[in-house]
Amino acid sequence: MEKRNNWFRSSANRLLQGKLASPNGVVYGGVLVALMMLSLCAIVLYQSRRDALDRTAETSRNVALIAERDIERNFELYGLSLQAVVDGLHQPDVMALPPHLRRLVLFDRAATAKYLESMLVLDESGNIVIDSASDVPRKRNFADRKYFSVQRDNPSSGLYISDPFRSRLHNGAPSIVLSRRLSHLDGSFAGIVVIAIDLEYFHNLFAGLSLGPHGSVALIGRDGIMIMRQPYDPRIIGRDIRGASTFQRFVATQEGSFSDTASIDGVRRLYSFKNFPHLPLIIMVAAAEQDIYAAWRQRALTIGALMLGFGCGFVGLSAVLGAQLRRRMRAESELQLLARTDDLTGLHNRRTLGEILDAEWRRAKRTRTVFSLLFVDIDRFKAYNDTYGHQAGDDALAAVARCIGETIRRPADSAARYGGEEFIVVLPDTPAAGASLIAEKIRSAISELGIEHASSEYGRVTASIGAASWQPEQNSDVTAVIKAADEALYNAKTMGRNRVSSS
């Protein structure tokens, strides 16, 4: 468990230091956070758009329900009044009454209701025989009306609601008629009783409803005839919309909601409809999608623009932070490199040499491998300085250092300036023979530089090299190896310089 925790902690640290703390990590992190904020904003806006739709659907359903109840209650009352007339006509006592009393008995106060144009009794030929408006029936014949022929030809029509028509008795006002059949005792047709209702009733009922600038509400017969529609257009009243795709869906189920484009004005709306439970009518309330989403769109634009600006700002800030971090890291690594290298030669400095020796020494001991070290000292360098000047001495030092660096090729090998004109080459995992070989290569490479040195017995800049190795079976430490290499170097010097000597 502890091991697992450690693993987790070190992975997290690696991730933090390696990825998130890197300049690119900061930028990617910023982009990720901005994207997450934008996605969250998009989800919230999408949800509020759906809420707007749901709320509208619910409001439409409620409006449809209330309109339906109002219409159905009124029609129930009209139906009862018609039934009362039918019943009264079967009473010989009532029929024996003088016309004005008979009128009072047959047509109660319902006949004076607002929007109720007239109540009439028609005989089997379609002539008015009893008129709610006057004791002397107006001389009109309605045998040509569809509601008359329907009742005449179908004994079982019951309460029949006509299609809208222009009333002859009321100066062409748009009306509908509710009718009931009168039968003789033998069941044969005796005429009809009708109530004519001014369509103004529906017009006023719908006009009071607030459905948005492009909303609409309509009352449609189940046979597809438009009875009333808001926004009101007299040309639409009585139109047959049986072929419209929306109507097909109205009759498919008792009630429901769906989105569709209206065949009448081409506006896309959310339709809520309900078939009347007791009448062959359908009420439809439709809200235009442009109205439903108008407020939402405004809000979405404002919030979306703000969030986008905020997200872009966040990404920009991350980019600036990332760039700053990159600059700092570069400066840090440059500083680190400076602290580790020797100014003049570009090789490792003495401090770094200490670290390298320490690490390689421990590794050699752990893996029990041979470890070699070369001590390089330029010959007669004091004389060189004296002859050619300090600046020339510096240049020669740098050239020799470059030469040493280029001669050691293995990545594990490293060279450092030990001090003055002395260098140490560390050769891990290299036996004495190999070390001597490399030392000889360095020596000849320095000599081949051909830097003139008049005060030297060789006439050119040369170096002496002392090599020492550590065997795993030896029980000594790194300073002993350095000392051995130094002694070997001393030997090389005493043996005539420009040579390699091994301890």
Residues in contact with Mg ion by the rule CB under 5 A: 377-378, 381
- Residue of 155, 316, 420, 472 interacting with ligand GH3 (CB under 6 A): 420
Where residue 266 falls (left for φ over 0; alpha for ψ -120 to 50; beta otherwise) is left
Rounded Cα distance between 455 and 378, Å, is 13
Identity of the residue, 226 or 463, whose beta carbon is nearer to ligand GH3 in the bound complex: 463
Q: Segment 56-75, which members bind ligand GH3 (CB under 6 A)?
A: none
49 binds ligand GH3 (CB under 6 A): no
Q: Which does 439 bind (CB under 5 to 8 A by kind): Mg ion, ligand GH3, none?
A: none
- Residue of 122, 285, 370, 397 interacting with ligand GH3 (CB under 6 A): 397
Q: Which segment (95-103, 128-136, 385-393, 443-451) binds ligand GH3 by CB under 6 A?
A: 385-393
Q: Which does 397 bind (CB under 5 to 8 A by kind): ligand GH3, Mg ion, none?
A: ligand GH3
> Which residues are bridge partners to 118 per DSSP?
196
Task: List b or e across 38-53, with b for residues whose CB sees 16 or more CB atoms inside 10 angstroms.
Answer: beebeeebeeebeebb
390 binds ligand GH3 (CB under 6 A): yes
- Residue of 30, 393, 428, 466 interacting with ligand GH3 (CB under 6 A): 393
Identity of the residue, 354 or 420, whose beta carbon is nearer to ligand GH3 in the bound complex: 420
214 binds ligand GH3 (CB under 6 A): no
Contact 119, 193 (CB under 8 A): yes
- 393, 303, 294, 379: which is closest to 345 by C-alpha? 393
Contact 405, 425 (CB under 8 A): no
- Residue of 385, 430, 502, 503 interacting with ligand GH3 (CB under 6 A): 385
CB atoms within 10 A of CB 92: 7
Q: Which does 493 bind (CB under 5 to 8 A by kind): ligand GH3, Mg ion, none?
A: ligand GH3
- Residue of 107, 160, 381, 423 interacting with ligand GH3 (CB under 6 A): 381
239-246: long-range contacts, CB 8 A cutoff, minimum separation 24: 246/271, 246/284
346 binds ligand GH3 (CB under 6 A): no
Spacing of C-alpha 53 from chain mean position: 20
Using only the alpha carbons of the chain, give its radius of gyration.
55
Identity of the residue, 292 or 463, whose beta carbon is nearer to ligand GH3 in the bound complex: 463
| Start-to-end C-alpha separation, the chain | 52
Identity of the residue, 103 or 380, whose beta carbon is nearer to ligand GH3 in the bound complex: 380
- Residue of 117, 163, 198, 379 interacting with ligand GH3 (CB under 6 A): 379
378 binds ligand GH3 (CB under 6 A): yes
Number of residues that bind ligand GH3 (CB under 6 A): 16
- 227, 229, 266, 228: which is closest to 244 by C-alpha? 266
- DSSP one-letter code for 127: B
377 binds ligand GH3 (CB under 6 A): yes
